[in-house]
Amino acid sequence: MTSPVFVCGLGRSGTSWISKALGESPELDYIGEAWLIEKLDELAEWFTHLHEDWAVFTPWKRRGVDREAFVAWLAHSYRELLETAADGRRVVEKTPNWNARHLRFLREMFPDAHFVLIYRDGRNCIASLEANKARKGEPFEFAASCRRWAGAMDIFSEVMESSSHENCTLVRYEDLLEDFDAVFDRLCAFTGIASFRPPPRPPNSAFDTAAGADAFNGRWQAWPARKRRTFKRIAGRQLVEWGYASSNKDW
């Protein structure tokens, strides 16, 4: 399988929008959400523990099987699974939240892959998630969602500031809303596929966008002071660093 494409981002930030659009290419196959990477990362960490701390009891260290060899074995097996899911075609996969949180490990497993890092104003991302959970009657933890967004943005910053980020590209959700075609052309070039126009598909959102982009991206403004304070405390730094506010005082 030629270099897989992993779409990495939090839920309600456009991962479905981009993945399905890329999957319309005859050169790619969008397989959906694998929901395996977190468990594979945990397994690699457990092996590292066995290799380093239980070396007396296990054969791995004395047989020269280190973490690099174990991760290579995991990557080979996972690649075969992805290839099966894609019927042998080049795969596009996205697992919201997990791909973003385990981006470092994904890159360790697949240094030849292409990583699309999509992000959105954390306030709108969380507001959309909360509305979606409410519609489904599911519980929602506001502070935990703030921490999740802030953590993902820190991981994206770390990766993009590293010396080996050529196989990663950032996509700003708001840019997709403003000029989808231009952003998508850039994604086609990044993934090495022929440029094309996917069928029109509206953003996956808990909100009606009929009122326009300004209303669509301003739903968080209905937050009470308590929620604003919580977000600022947990994720205000990242909001400023990623250009969604000039300071924590201007919103």
Q: Is the confidence at residue 250, as pLDDT, over 80?
A: no
To which residue do tokens 């996969």 refer? 93
pLDDT, position 214:
54
What is the pLDDT averaged over residues 218-242?
95
DSSP string computed for the chain? ----EEEE--TTSSHHHHHHHHTTSTT-EEEE----HHHHHHHHHHHHHHHHHSTTTSSTTTTT--HHHHHHHHHHHHHHHHHHHTTTSPEEEE-TTHHHHTHHHHHHH-TTSEEEEEE--HHHHHHHHHHHHHHHT----HHHHHHHHHHHHHHHHHHHTSS--TTEEEEEHHHHHH-HHHHHHHHHHHHT-----PPP-----SS-GGG-HHHHTTGGGG--HHHHHHHHHHHHHHHHHTTS-SSTT--
DSSP string computed for 74-122? HHHHHHHHHHHHTTTSPEEEE-TTHHHHTHHHHHHH-TTSEEEEEE--H
What is the pLDDT averaged over residues 150-176?
97
Give the pLDDT confidence of 103-134 residue by residue, as tens digits. Answer: 999 999 999 999 999 999 999 999 999 999 99
List of domains in the chain = 5-241 (3.40.50.300)
pTM for this structure?
0.94
Q: Is the confidence at residue 153, as pLDDT, over 80?
A: yes
Least confident range from 1-10, 27-36, 150-159: namely: 1-10
pLDDT, position 251:
78
pLDDT, position 15:
96
pLDDT, position 81:
97
Could you tell me the pLDDT band of residue 186, with boundaries at 50, 70 and 90?
A: very high
pLDDT, position 201:
76
pLDDT, position 202:
72
Q: What is the pLDDT of the chain when averaged over all its residues?
A: 93
Q: Is the confidence at residue 213, as pLDDT, over 90?
A: no
Query: Over pLDDT 90: what percentage of the chain?
Result: 88
Give the pLDDT confidence of 162-171 residue by residue, as tens digits. Answer: 999 999 999 9
Could you tell me the pLDDT band of residue 207, with boundaries at 50, 70 and 90?
A: very low
